Amino acid sequence: MIVLGYKFLTIEDFNTSNALCNKYYGIPVNDTDTTRNWIAYSISYTVSNEIDFYFWVGNETIILGSPTEFEVREKTEPIQMK
């Protein structure tokens, strides 16, 4: 599947970007807020179901710049043989 968004090679890269967005947008305003983060990651997997990279599908943000198109792969379930 092709998505438009932001790709992060490590969870640390995602966390850094998330922290920058949170700071810029002032999230959370207080400890009782429902919104805790500006972005939430998804995971793309390799053919062997290992984590390949983290990503966020979204439009252009002032903090992260322009999104790019890239391919993501969902985790596949092993085929059960009878």
- Angular region, 26: left φ>0, alpha ψ -120 to 50, beta rest: left
* Residue found by looking up tokens 């992060």 in the block: 8
| Residue 50 belongs to a domain | yes
pLDDT classification of 34: cutoffs 50, 70, 90: low
Percentage of the chain exceeding pLDDT 70: 93
* Model pLDDT, residue 4: 96
The answer on pLDDT for 60 being more than 90 is no
Looking at per-residue pLDDT, the higher value among 2 and 39 belongs to 2
pLDDT classification of 8: cutoffs 50, 70, 90: very high
CA distance 51 to 44: 6
Nearest residue to 67 (alpha-carbon basis) of 6, 1, 2, 3 = 6
CA distance 73 to 19: 26
| Residue 45 belongs to a domain | yes
Domain containing residue 11:
2-71
Token duo for residue 27: 């999230």
| Residue 14 belongs to a domain | yes
The reported pTM is 0.81
| Residue 81 belongs to a domain | no
